[in-house]
Amino acid sequence: METVRILIVDDSEETRSNIRQLLSFDDRIEVMGEAENGEEAILLAREARPDVVLMDINMPGLDGIRATEEITLEVPETVVIIMSVQGETEYVRKAMAAGARDFLCKPFNPEELVTTILNVYAAESKRREKISASGYQEEVRSKVITVFSTKGGVGKTTIASNLAVSIARTAKKRVALVDLDLQFGDIAIMLNVSVKNTISDLVKEFSQLDRNLMEEYLVTHFSGVKVLPAPVKPEYAEYITASHVERIINTLRESYHYIIVDSSANFHESVLTSLDMSDKILFISTLDLPTIKNIKAGLDVMDTLRYSQDKIHVVLNKASEQYGIKYKDFEGTLQKPIWSFIPEDSQTVVTSANKGFPFVMTRTETKVAKAIMDICGKLIRETEGDAQKKQYFRKLFG
């Protein structure tokens, strides 16, 4: 067995010295460095790329949980083992959610320490061998489309789920649908899929996340769309960070041509990450004053974030001028044109949701289904056109 290179991270010099001494008796393990805080640990991990990091939780400045999160994201080949005097379930759960592979409760004996390190390293080596043996897989030009609004109840989930199914059927491409409404997501109910694992379960194995592990957590809808459901309990949302969302989307990009994200109605960090990474944002609104006010405020935020105008498409759902607000007044207030209209059809939408069958498959003759299929066609033409432009300029300028 090759030597396992270890980085020890603890704010106590005495503790680091004791651990180094415990490991010095085993020639299968080499201590290649030490760090006394989270920031230093991240820098050393980036430069030296150790096989295993022994990480204390409670340290001044950047604590061990946040340092673990950064290291597992930036140096995925390095595995982290958390060390702490606090062995409560809550600490273990936070460590695993951050990407740690194991948890050692202080004080520990030499045999326990060495066994844990070697077992974790052996498991990681087997995983790498499996990936290597899987062989070459095709390069995928992926597009991320986030369905967003700053107001709840405007139909985001209905649009996202039917759009994903429509793209899968029309483009004949691989489509993933991510429920990023982390507290109250309804994609699984809308598509009537059986949920065994959710995004909150996936982040517990964050350090091992790759395209193979991702497939184990995706639920297959009969249309062919793969679904990553939201957590089953609202309180689980707090364990999912912007870093998790970024890596999940990047991992999906390796295998899926289209990634549709159904987001919550806010600008939390996880949602902002999805918006930043999106090729297109469908900003959903309805024709009522409270929603229009919130949509205008949301567009102002996006302008501050310097999102390009062609990235954001305003979609008017339940479109009708019969309630006193004209389309031109709506566009004048937002100073942005309506990109697409979806007519109101409560009977079709509610029946579809209750039965768990997308109306773009079961009620294709309705105006609401045709509107979603029209959006699908426009997005495919736009995203494919953008890809062709990028490819042309890459060739032109090398």
Span 98-102, average pLDDT: 84
CATH class of the domain whose range is 143-397 = alpha beta
- Closest by CA to 335, choosing from 292, 289, 290, is 292
Most confident segment among 72-76, 135-139, 214-218: 214-218
Mean confidence (pLDDT) of the chain: 87
CATH topology of 4-133 equal to that of 143-397?
yes
| Domain ranges across the chain | 4-133, 143-397
The residue to which tokens 């790498």 are assigned: 128
Band of pLDDT at residue 75, cut at 50, 70 and 90: confident
Just give the CATH number of 4-133. 3.40.50.2300
Task: Measure the CA–CA gap between 125 and 231, rounded to whole angstroms.
Answer: 30
Rounding to the nearest 10 degrees, give the CA dihedral for residues 216, 243, 131, 215.
20
Q: Is the pLDDT of residue 389 over 50?
A: no
**Residue 280: φ, ψ to 5°:** -140, 145
Cβ atoms of 366 and 348 within 8 Å: the answer is: yes
For the entire predicted model, the pTM comes to 0.65
> What is the distance between the alpha carbons of residues 163 and 32, in angstroms, rounded to a whole number?
51
**What is the mean pLDDT of the segment spanning 75-104?**
81
Tell me the average pLDDT across 302-325.
90
